[in-house]
Amino acid sequence: MPIRQTLLSLPSFPDAVPERALESAVTLCQLLGAGLTAHLGELDGEEAHWPVVMGAFPLDFPRLMAEMVVKSRAQAAESAAMLPKMAAEYGVALDLRRFVTTPHAPLDRLVDLARLHDLTILPVPEADAFDRPCVQTVLFQSGRPVLLLPSRRKPVTALNRIVIAWDYSREAARAMADALPLLALAREVRLVTVFGEKHLHTTATTGDLEHFLARHGLKYVLDRVSLEEGGIGELLTDYAMDAGADLLVMGAYGHSRLRQFVLGGATSHILRDPPLAVLMSH
């Protein structure tokens, strides 16, 4: 299925999305010929809507919240001024949607919008400020692929080489299928299968995989890598970086354990601090 409309989450607190991340999102839309919906939130200035703080609190919470609101509004205004100019320059149709929110607000609005978009782009700020619960919620509840866009890395200017983590699983197959419009833009696609961490079971042959890729007109390389030490997530990111990849495609693994959602090892490693743009599907 083609990617016609993407959704970009634009938080304005605690930090604004850097300009290079906005450029990367708009570039991806230009390459895909897709429109862009920007979901731009800013903190609600109504004190009655602020979270209730129980018990002793070491800081003056109302003052702290008021300062956060001022900062959020300024950063939201900056993004709202910058993004339309970029979209116009790149010829990307933009639907800018602004809304007010509160810290730790439910993500229903974002998830519902994601379900009606072909791809959701989530900028990744500094590692210690990254809202991973937000990513997990959108990834596992929207039914749509998510593209993590690291803010601290080089901007995405092209998709010359894409690496796919392939282990014959349902999640990997879903990720590869969701990524097909992006794979069609690549000069080279590299599928890497990692052996040594878990048993890979399939009745399909390498020829079946090659037939699928060839029928989609993809120029590809198949690699088999043995896991010597460390984790599979680290190996995949190292492989992608060594290959000079612009994008890593992989399935997202996780399961619900009581009330806590437990991520797979590779998924958890990637979410911790992705070194390049990553498309994940579940």
- In angstroms, rounded to a whole number, what is the distance separating the alpha carbons of residues 208 and 163? 19
3-state SS string over 66-98? HHHHHHHHHHHHHHHHHHHHHHHHHCCCEEEEE
Return the pLDDT at 202.
Answer: 80
Return the pLDDT at 95.
Answer: 98
User: For residues 146 and 171, is the Cβ–Cβ distance under 8 A?
Assistant: no
Return the pLDDT at 279.
Answer: 96
CA geometry: angle 171, 174, 177, nearest 5 deg: 150
**Residue 191 is which amino acid?**
L
- In angstroms, rounded to a whole number, what is the distance separating the alpha carbons of residues 208 and 118? 27
- In angstroms, rounded to a whole number, what is the distance separating the alpha carbons of residues 216 and 259? 41
Return the pLDDT at 248.
Answer: 96
Domains and CATH numbers, the chain: 5-150 (3.40.50.620), 161-281 (3.40.50.620)
Phi-psi map region of 275: left, alpha, beta (phi>0 left; psi -120 to 50 alpha): alpha
Return the pLDDT at 261.
Answer: 45
Return the pLDDT at 260.
Answer: 43
Q: Which residues of the chain have pLDDT under 70?
A: 48-59, 126-132, 196-200, 230, 254-265
- In angstroms, rounded to a whole number, what is the distance separating the alpha carbons of residues 34 and 257? 37
Which residue has 């037939």 as its token pair? 211
- In angstroms, rounded to a whole number, what is the distance separating the alpha carbons of residues 178 and 201? 22
Return the pLDDT at 51.
Answer: 67
- Torsion sign, CA atoms 231, 182, 134, 70: positive
Return the pLDDT at 197.
Answer: 63
Return the pLDDT at 257.
Answer: 47
Return the pLDDT at 254.
Answer: 64
